[in-house]
Every structure is written in C-alpha cells, then in structure tokens.
Amino acid sequence: RLARFYLQLFDILQHEPPAFPLQCPTEALNECFPQHHFDVVHMRNSLDHANDPLMGILQLIWVVRPGGWVLLRHARNEGVAGHFQLGLHQWAFDIEDAPDGQHFVIWSPSLRVDVSQWLLSGGFASAVNAQRRPHPA
C-alpha cells in the first residue's frame, strides 16, 4: 500500500527511482512477479497485516530463487496489542522453544500454526532459522 506514497516522494524530490515501487498483495505475488525472480525477499512488520500470512509465505518462497532467502522481521505478538483487528495486526507472530530448536509460530484467537514445522514437513523450505531479535522499530 505504500508504493504510491514512495512514487509521490520521488516526484516531490524530483528523483528518478532506481526501480519503480509496485503495489502487490503478498498473497498474489505470483501475479506481479515471475517465479524465482529475487535472490532475497524481505518483509518487515507487515506480514501480520495479511489476510492469509501462510499463503503470503508460500508466495514469498515462489518468487525467491532456489537457494535464496526469505527474511521476515516482525514485532512479537503484535496482534495481541492490536486486538487482532481486520486490516491491522490480524495475526501474532512468535518464536517458541521446541525439542529441535526454536520454531516460528503464527497464531490468532482462532488458529495456531507452527510455521517452521509446516514449511519443513511440507517440503516448502529446506531450513528455517527462527530467532528473537529486538523490536524492528
């Protein structure tokens, strides 16, 4: 949703953007980019706004090249503070301890998914590295 604001900023500053920002729902990246288009895809404090963050993750994997990186950096359990409101922070993201290390978990009052386990058991990823870091201010 920020693409049009970035374009306005380039206009105000009278600069030509190095690449034009493209507005595209995370769940529909395959409609905006070809498969294996990026070496790295990165989302920061935004996937928790998606209607379907699991589909969004699959789409991120679809647009990254084999061996590439999908990097997610989000505030912990942001959905709790936002009361899981539609369009805002609809989901809570957390890291939980598991017997084989730390796992990335997405949850709401009606659903909980161990994303690390889902990605690995489904063959969507060969490795998942989940870590707690300071808030992405």
β-strand 92-98 against 64-73: which pairing, if any?
unpaired
Would the pLDDT of 136 be above 60? no
Q: Please report the pLDDT score of residue 17 as a whole number.
A: 85
Q: From the CA atom positions of the chain, what is the Rg in Å?
A: 16
The first and second tokens of residue 6, run together, are 């970035």
Q: What is the DSSP letter of 132?
A: -
**By three-state DSSP, how is residue 133 classified?**
coil
pTM: 0.86
Q: What is the tens place of the pLDDT at every residue in 93-109?
A: 999 999 999 999 999 99
Task: Give residue 81's pLDDT band: very low, low, confident or very high (50, 70, 90).
Answer: confident
